[in-house]
Chains A and B, each alone.
Chain A
């Protein structure tokens, strides 16, 4: 291959490096109204009375909207395929508030300053209700968060605070456990964690000269934004255009309709362009975060240490609303059961409501929570049985040709599709990682004095798009200088997918990447795509681009054959040739436009896959624990992945290198703290610590090669897989270093010292 797998610079890199105005907010804002939201100061209650008259009277305030301005309509803010498998439990504004940070009203004013002043002039009387902060106490509590929702098929049981439930069974787990030689069990938990993309949520809306609603927004899901805003505001989709410019990171947080509907409502109400941007503080409590989960795993083994059964029990805290509640824990279950072959298994997962901020999509989407549990338990088992942790894993991995039964039992909110594992490089990942980590070099590790050094590992998997649901389309047209416009609905949110898709098109068309002009995404101009989530873009959208480019290639060949008057002419190296005579792409396109067999060479294609081949990864951590202070320092992380054929090596490495600190953060420093009234208290980057350039350990990210028959040029997904391993590898390394087993993230110095019996 000439382009795929080869070093290629980002197609948008130059503009980004020069600070060009390419992000949502980087446009002149003449006549814009600036929006600020009023949030509930209490965790649970009902608005008895709301008086907006003083705010409205303030000079420069154009509008104040509350629940009284909207017909009650329930929807979900989760930007998923339709019908979204998340509960319809959200209203644009609701007279009942369910967490500190629930939206109460929006002010639209001539400046942010005026809007902030007006916020203080809104008077709200609340009747306070008791609140639930502990997910363990939510189910069947007498306090009910959504008692009024009766007939939503996507809400499992409102009266019991059960947003969602999953149950699945395969084989006969009961009997299998009874006849197992060994049975192990453990419970592990993960906290609220923040995506922490540096660009906050920002949306601009205005009406164009044809009275169409333009939404320029930082989103991963432009087509879901169009559909859901249309639904919520009862406004025709034909009159909505969503523009996704460059996006400053998303990691799942922008897979949400998070203010687009409010901003659009103000524009429709006032006729004025409107702008809403969350402050960093608001990002922490009013946007989304990782679902906290308590995961209990029971595993049975026979005498040969083959797994006989797995029982998986999940309690997920969804916060006040059920955005992504079902699907996150369904991914936890799917991924945990896609790594090791268990002839019997059982899943029971409950997502419960609490009066805390709303959780949502975050890179890994349930898999990091699940693998923290599974891979810590595997480590504990290997230690208890005194067996090699590599051997224990390797003898239980799914092998090529195996069917992965959970895939057909559990899909995205419905039954899934049969999946055969075509490729797995997990063994190679483990072996290569072991080498890169110097695993067997025990002598080099410090084990004297108060500093103890240790190593740990984790094996993990993910998926490549949502099988049978994620659909992407691409449109490609030729220009007379042999360049091509590639229009995709796929949303590049900073991942570099525009570049990867350009490489796929360039490979098929046998041109260089600079000949492919990519545009993503704009609901008026680009074809549909479900969006940038579930590690789907290269695998699903790439499939669409490949098909479209192949069709166009055939058209170019056909035009060339006609122009050369030779049906045996062939296409090679950017021209059509009979061997004696040839026509360049430029000549073919120019003649097609202006003189002979006139037509526009262009093609479209859609792609959907019933396969979602798992990428695999082995992550290794080397840590030092200061047994006097409890402080853990991560010295080195090795992350080796099997993502099939890599499309762009530098970008793929970059995905791993960026995912790793997010997971180290989840392991050691990143968690949201709430006070007794449910208020998030660490709502800035000083008190919520994400890793900086000086905190970083040495990072080694590599890939082993496989070529999956179901992906474009053999590609599987890259984006999420590297985030699953570091947290369990670190927890295992800490045990290896100092003998303290922490099953509850984050691993704070206090927990280490407690484990050491020092406090």
Chain B
């Protein structure tokens, strides 16, 4: 039996062994996790696993025993993205919004270890989140709280 914590829930997973975390999260309607590429390249399916950013399409649920997984829904509920969200809205950093949850997840991971990141640290952090709408100009600006 695989046991892990997902947001505020303790999960005992007995499902398909080949399921990726992305497939699992979307199947239980945590829709902030998006499909974008299958190869861990785009970052749309980003989640936090023990405070680190992971592309959930690259992880099997089976491998998560004992881990803490956080999705954007949970961070939002906790109020952890309030300031970032406001800044993204204010700076016009959201266009289609498909990659935005992944960007916010990456930035939360950064802010947990560094609350005053500079522009190059922000760019490094967002390098794993492909965005085709913004050219990253406004997201990078918005992350400089």
**Contact residues of B between 111 and 142, Cβ < 8 Å to A:** 122-124, 126-140
Nearest to A26 among chain B residues (CB) is B31
Provide the residues of chain A in CB contact with B33, threshold 8 Å.
19
Nearest to A248 among chain B residues (CB) is B98
Contact of A198 (CB < 8 Å), options: B44, B90, B91, B127:
B44
How near does chain A come to B86, taking the closest CB pair, in angstroms? Answer: 9
A277 within 8 A of B: yes
In the complex, are the beta carbons of A17 and B137 less than 8 A apart?
no
Given the known interface contacts A654-B92, A693-B140, A694-B123, the answer about A18 and B85 at a Cβ–Cβ threshold of 8 Å is: yes
B1 within 8 A of A: no
Provide the residues of chain A in CB contact with B144, threshold 8 Å.
none
Provide the residues of chain B in CB contact with A660, threshold 8 Å.
135
A342 within 8 A of B: no
Provide the residues of chain A in CB contact with B39, threshold 8 Å.
280, 684-686
In the complex, are the beta carbons of A12 and B97 less than 8 A apart?
yes
Provide the residues of chain B in CB contact with A14, threshold 8 Å.
85, 89
Contact of B129 (CB < 8 Å), options: A18, A279, A693:
A693
In the complex, are the beta carbons of B104 and A17 less than 8 A apart?
yes
B9 within 8 A of A: no
Provide the residues of chain B in CB contact with A280, threshold 8 Å.
36-39, 42
How near does chain A come to B62, taking the closest CB pair, in angstroms? Answer: 16
Most buried by A among B26, B95, B96: B96
Provide the residues of chain A in CB contact with B128, threshold 8 Å.
692
Nearest to A650 among chain B residues (CB) is B92
Given the known interface contacts A684-B39, A693-B140, the answer about A19 and B101 at a Cβ–Cβ threshold of 8 Å is: yes
A15 to B123, CA, bound (A): 24
**Contact residues of A between 190 and 216, Cβ < 8 Å to B:** 195-200
Number of B residues, CB within 8 Å of A: 53
B99 within 8 A of A: yes
In the complex, are the beta carbons of B100 and A693 less than 8 A apart?
no
How near does chain A come to B99, taking the closest CB pair, in angstroms? Answer: 5
**Contact residues of B between 12 and 55, Cβ < 8 Å to A:** 18, 26, 29, 31-39, 41-42, 44
Given the known interface contacts A10-B94, A495-B95, the answer about A198 and B131 at a Cβ–Cβ threshold of 8 Å is: yes
A246 within 8 A of B: yes
Contact of A654 (CB < 8 Å), options: B26, B72, B76, B134:
B134
In the complex, are the beta carbons of B130 and A248 less than 8 A apart?
no
A696 to B133, CA, bound (A): 13
Nearest to B101 among chain A residues (CB) is A19
**Contact residues of A between 1 and 45, Cβ < 8 Å to B:** 9-10, 12-23, 25-26, 28
Number of A-B contacts (CB under 8 A): 176
In the complex, are the beta carbons of A17 and B98 less than 8 A apart?
no
A251 to B132, CA, bound (A): 9
Most buried by B among A25, A248, A660: A248
Most buried by A among B42, B128, B137: B137
A718 to B134, CA, bound (A): 14
Contact of B89 (CB < 8 Å), options: A9, A659, A691, A696:
A9
Nearest to A277 among chain B residues (CB) is B35
In the complex, are the beta carbons of A248 and B97 less than 8 A apart?
yes
Provide the residues of chain B in CB contact with A26, threshold 8 Å.
31
How near does chain A come to B143, taking the closest CB pair, in angstroms? Answer: 10
Chain A proximity mask over B45-77: 1 for CB below 8 Å, otherwise 0? 000000000000000000000000001110010
In the complex, are the beta carbons of A198 and B73 less than 8 A apart?
no
Given the known interface contacts A248-B97, A685-B37, A686-B39, the answer about A10 and B138 at a Cβ–Cβ threshold of 8 Å is: no
Nearest to B87 among chain A residues (CB) is A17
In the complex, are the beta carbons of A650 and B138 less than 8 A apart?
yes
Most buried by B among A26, A198, A694: A198
Provide the residues of chain B in CB contact with A20, threshold 8 Å.
31-32
Provide the residues of chain A in CB contact with B37, threshold 8 Å.
280, 684-685
How near does chain A come to B72, taking the closest CB pair, in angstroms? Answer: 4
A517 within 8 A of B: no
B4 within 8 A of A: no
Nearest to A685 among chain B residues (CB) is B41
**Contact residues of A between 217 and 248, Cβ < 8 Å to B:** 246-248
A494 to B97, CA, bound (A): 7
In the complex, are the beta carbons of B135 and A19 less than 8 A apart?
no
Provide the residues of chain A in CB contact with B76, threshold 8 Å.
18-19
A10 to B97, CA, bound (A): 11
Provide the residues of chain A in CB contact with B73, threshold 8 Å.
18-19
Provide the residues of chain B in CB contact with A195, threshold 8 Å.
132
A412 within 8 A of B: no
Provide the residues of chain B in CB contact with A651, threshold 8 Å.
92, 95
In the complex, are the beta carbons of B94 and A692 less than 8 A apart?
no
Provide the residues of chain A in CB contact with B104, threshold 8 Å.
17, 19
A668 to B94, CA, bound (A): 26
Nearest to A23 among chain B residues (CB) is B98
Nearest to B104 among chain A residues (CB) is A17
A690 within 8 A of B: yes
Contact of B135 (CB < 8 Å), options: A12, A16, A661:
A661
Nearest to B29 among chain A residues (CB) is A28
Provide the residues of chain B in CB contact with A494, threshold 8 Å.
95-98, 133
In the complex, are the beta carbons of B100 and A9 less than 8 A apart?
no
Provide the residues of chain A in CB contact with B123, threshold 8 Å.
693-694, 696
Most buried by B among A28, A654, A693: A693
In the complex, are the beta carbons of B97 and A16 less than 8 A apart?
yes
Contact of B94 (CB < 8 Å), options: A16, A493, A662:
A16
How near does chain B come to A664, taking the closest CB pair, in angstroms? Answer: 9
Provide the residues of chain A in CB contact with B95, threshold 8 Å.
249, 494-496, 651, 654, 658
Provide the residues of chain A in CB contact with B81, threshold 8 Å.
17-18
A22 to B97, CA, bound (A): 10
A657 within 8 A of B: yes
A18 to B72, CA, bound (A): 7
Provide the residues of chain B in CB contact with A493, threshold 8 Å.
96
Given the known interface contacts A21-B29, A685-B41, the answer about A690 and B100 at a Cβ–Cβ threshold of 8 Å is: no
* Residues of chain A whose beta carbon lies under 8 Å from any beta carbon of chain B: 9-10, 12-23, 25-26, 28, 113, 195-200, 246-249, 251, 277, 279-281, 493-496, 650-651, 653-654, 657-662, 684-686, 690-694, 696, 699, 701
Apart from A15-B97, A198-B99, list 10 A-B contacts with CB within 8 A.
Answer: A17-B81, A19-B33, A280-B37, A280-B42, A494-B97, A650-B91, A653-B137, A690-B132, A692-B127, A696-B137
Can you list 20 A-B pairs with a CB-CB distance of less than 8 A? A13-B88, A13-B97, A16-B94, A18-B72, A19-B100, A19-B101, A21-B29, A281-B38, A493-B96, A653-B138, A654-B95, A657-B138, A658-B132, A661-B135, A685-B130, A692-B126, A693-B127, A694-B124, A696-B135, A696-B136
In order of increasing CB-CB distance, the 8 nearest A-B pairs are A494-B96, A19-B32, A16-B97, A248-B98, A650-B92, A685-B41, A19-B101, A657-B135
